[in-house]
Amino acid sequence: MLERSSNRPDDGRTPPQAFGALAVTLQSQADARSELVGATPTDDETNRKNMALLIQLRWTAVVGQIVTIGGVHFWLGIPLPLERMGAVIGALVLLNVSSLVWVRHRAAISSNELLVALMLDVAALTAQLYLSGGATNPFTSLFLLQVTLGAVLLDARSTWSLVALTCASFVWLTLAYRPLDLPPNPISETYSLTVTGMLLGFVLNAVLLVVFVTRINRNLRERDAHLAALRQHAAEQDHIVRMGLLASGAAHELGTPLASLSVILSDWRRMPDLAADQELAEDLAEMETSLQRCKSIVTGILVSAGEARGEGSSPTTVTAFVTALVDEWRNARSARTLYFVNTFGEDVAIASDVALKQVIFNVLDNAYEVSRDWVELLAEREGDNLVLSISDRGPGFAPEMLAQLGKPYHSSKGRAGGGLGLFLVVNVVRKLGGSVTAENHRKRGATVRLTLPLATLAIGGSFDA
């Protein structure tokens, strides 16, 4: 179908209808650049997810502290200041509840706010360690958890600030702390208890690092993938802009020679010697017809280049729009092998769209190029979408073409500059809020599906990226 090989001689040019669709997208450069500015909302979404992970980690810390304090105090018989340590846990619970409410109503979350959240966690951990032996407590290794999270989430300056805070907290715990009132056990039992505490601290640290750093990295990868997609989309839009400018410039340049040819052919038709030759007169008439088609194409490009969505378009319906473009395509190409099937159902009022019509022409042209004996256009409705399916009995898409659907310069025709047809189709349909898919049939042929939201096509609908 689109951009596939055929036995038909190829002139190495993108179909002229594609340039008309291309020229309509000249305004997309500002849209693409504004999407790159959208990296800020992307960072905010990532920070929001990471803040949610920090809140989950804090709930884990609350549960872990309750279990650990209870086990040490009641099971091991080591007295702890339960009221003061419980107050720290209560402060963590209050902080978490307020953080949940704050995140829901906050318009944006910055990296500085993530830093504050981590610093509050360090302060809470320091308070608990102060009340339970200071630097001699085997759970001091949990400071490394906060530092690691900071290194993953924050910029270098904020990370070093967090490192400075944890180091200062550790040094302070070596100087000022509430000693543990250990029972009078032999030294070997005390040492065994210390080693057991260190082991538990290490296991807890390792498990929490793996669980939460893995989730944070997933959030960061999703953000990077989204930013990469935005940059790719912006590059494609800039590419379309350059091609549209080239098409418009070429249309202006072609206007003069086409006008000269029109004058010359008109003079030839009035020459008695040429008019007397019936065969030559028929050739001249065919040349004039082809010339008029060229002039119409050039005019269409120039009109489309300065036409925004909805300007100069006339109200119509889905059935009338598709039926009219089918008739126009058949008449322009003298093709009678296009079979049109309309199962759309109840008609819907829309605004005729020049770019969409030229996109459909482009798909039909390429289907007809590889399948002269049969091409089918199926119009149907799926929910609130208009779905146009163009099928043929050609050789189908190569696997690499399906993998690179909509990418420029991926063509199986083996010529320089090929692969632009489907690229333009995908981008114009995407500008209308729709999508393009392609699939091969089991035996032979392929189908390209254009899915278009009726809300965008409706009269008064916006033409947004």
DSSP string of 398-454?
Answer: -HHHHHTTT-TT--SS--TT--HHHHHHHHHHHHTT-EEEEEE-SSS-EEEEEEEEH
Strand partners, 390: 377, 448
CA distance linking residue 65 with residue 124, whole number of Å: 11
Q: Give domain 309-457's CATH number out of 3.40.50.740, 3.40.50.300, 3.30.565.10, 3.30.70.270.
A: 3.30.565.10
CATH among 1.10.8, 1.10.287, 3.30.360, 1.25.40 for 232-305: 1.10.287
Instruction: Express each pLDDT in 22-77 by its tens digit.
Output: 444 434 433 433 443 343 445 667 777 778 888 888 888 888 889 888 887 787 77
Provide the pLDDT for residue 247: 67
Write the pLDDT tens digit of every residue in 354-373: 778 888 988 998 899 888 89
CA atoms of 359 and 429, how far apart (whole Å)? 8
- Give the SS3 label for residue 218: helix
Tokens of 463: 């033409």
Q: Indicate the burial class of 268 (C-beta count within 10 angstroms; 0-12, 13-18, 19 or more).
A: middle
Q: Kindly tell me the sign of the dihedral angle through the C-alpha atoms of 22, 28, 33, 34.
A: negative
**Position 319 pLDDT exceeds 50:** yes
Q: 315 — phi, psi (to 5°)?
A: -70, 140
- Both structure tokens of 271: 């020459």
Torsion, Cα of 339, 401, 305, 326 (10° steps): 0
- Per-residue pLDDT at 97 exceeds 80: yes
Strand 338-343 versus strand 375-382 pairing type: parallel
The pLDDT tens digits for 187-246 are: 445 556 566 666 776 777 677 777 777 777 777 777 777 777 777 777 666 666 666 656
Q: Nearest 10 degrees: CA dihedral of 101, 106, 110, 116? A: -30
Q: How many CB atoms lie within 10 A of CB 60?
A: 15
Domain boundaries, the chain: 39-227, 232-305, 309-457
pLDDT confidence of 6, banded at 50, 70, 90? very low
Q: Which two tokens stand for residue 259?
A: 């006008």
Structure confidence by residue, pLDDT tens digits, 382-419: 999 999 999 999 988 888 888 777 666 555 554 444 45
CB-count burial class (<10 Å; 0-12, 13-18, 19+) for 19: buried
- In sequence order, what are the beta bridge partners of 233? none
Strand partners, 439: 447
Q: Virtual CA dihedral for 180, 185, 189, 195, nearest 10 degrees?
A: 10
State the pTM of this model.
Answer: 0.45
Amino acid symbol at 243:
M
448 pLDDT tier (thresholds 50, 70, 90): very high
**Relative orientation angle of helices 82-105 and 39-70, to the nearest 10 degrees:** 160
